[in-house]
Amino acid sequence: MTVQPRQNNLEVRWIRFRVLLVATGLLFGFLLLIGRSFQVQFFQWEGWASVANKQIRRDFHIEARRGEIYDRNGQELAISIELESLAANPRAIKDPEGAAKKLAAVVEIPATRLEKKLRQHRAFVWLKHYLTPRQTDAVRALGLEGIHFVKENRRYYPNVELAGHLLGFVGRDHIGLEGLEVAQDLLLAGESGTHPGAKDARGQIIYTHGLPAASGPQAYSLRLTLDKRIQYIAERELQKTVTDYGAKGGMIVVTEPKSGEILAMAVFPSFNPNSFSSYGPAVWRNRAVTDAFEPGSTFKIFLMAAALEEALVHPDDLFYCENGKYKVVNHTIHDLKKFGWLSLAQILRFSSN
C-alpha cells in the first residue's frame, strides 16, 4: 500500500519537469526572437531596407523625344509623333482564341498569329506597333481583359518623298540609319532619362515620385539651309527631265553662290522614308553625296571664266585643236570631231576638249 503514492509522486514530478522544460524552451525561443527582432530593427535595418527597396523599386526608362528637322524657313521636314502600340498580358486572358478573332478584324493581323502570342506563358507580349487612332478606338471599344496600350514615338516625314535622300530615316529602335538621321543621330536622339517608381506583387507600376513629365527628355532639333519650295521645284523638274530623256536617274544640287549654303539636293528615283523598307539600299543611296562624277564639259565654263577674269585670254584668240587628238604623257585626249583652229568662243560653242 505504500508503493502507490510514491509512484504517483514520481509521475507528477515528471510531468512538472516536462512542462518546465517546454516552457523554458518556449521562453528561450521567445527571447531569441525578441533579440533577433531588436538586432534587425536597430542594427541591421539599413541593409534589410536596401534589400526590400531593390525588390520593389525600379528606375523606369523614359525615352527621349527625337528632335525635329526643319528647313531654313521653319517648315517641318521630320517630326516625332506619339502613337499607341498594342500589347497583352497572356496570363490575364481567359479566352485567347476569342480575343484573337476580335482583335484580328481591327488590327489587320491573322487571328492564328495573334492567338499564338496570346497563348504564351508570359506577362507581356507585343501585338502591334503604331496603331492608327481609329484602330486604337476600336480596340478600346472591345474591352478585352489583359489587352493594354503602350505609348511610343514614331518618326514621321510629313512631306513624304520630299528630300528623302537627304533626311534619311530611323529604325524601330529610333536610331538613325541613313541620311541626316544617322549623320546627326547624337544630337537628334538626345539622352534618355529615368523616373523612380516601384512595382507591386502583380507587376503593376507605381510612380512613387509622381507621374513623369508628359514630354519626357528632349533632344536637339536641326534647322537646315534647305528651302522646301526650291527643293520641291528641283525634284519636280528632275523627275520630268529623267522621264523625258529615259535616263536611269539624275541629281540636282542648288547652292547659294556667296555662302555655299545648300538650298536643294534632289535625287531621282526618289523614295518615301515613312516606308523605307519597301525600297532597297540602291534607292536609299544619296548619289549627290556618295558618288563621284567627272565634271566633264560643264567645268569648261568655270575654267574659261577664270582665264578671262585674269586677262590671260580674249574671246577672239585662236587655238589649234590638234585635229581631234592630243597626247599628254601616256594618255591621249580625244575630241568629238577633228577640229583645227578655233576661237575661244568657238571652243565653248562646240565643247572642244
Which position among 37, 50, 297, 351 bears the catalytic label? 297
297 catalytic, yes or no? yes
Look up cell 525578441; give the residue: 34
CA-wise closest residue to 153 among 138, 165, 168, 170 = 170
CA-wise closest residue to 286 among 182, 186, 189 = 182
HSE at residue 232, side-chain half, CA atoms within 13 A, is: 8
Q: Read off the DSSP letter of residue 297.
A: G
Question: β-strands 193-199, 205-206: how paired?
Answer: antiparallel
CB 79 within 8 A of CB 66: no
Long-range CB contacts for residues 131-134, cutoff 8 Å, separation at least 24: 131/83, 131/84, 131/85, 131/86, 131/107, 132/83
- Catalytic site positions: 297
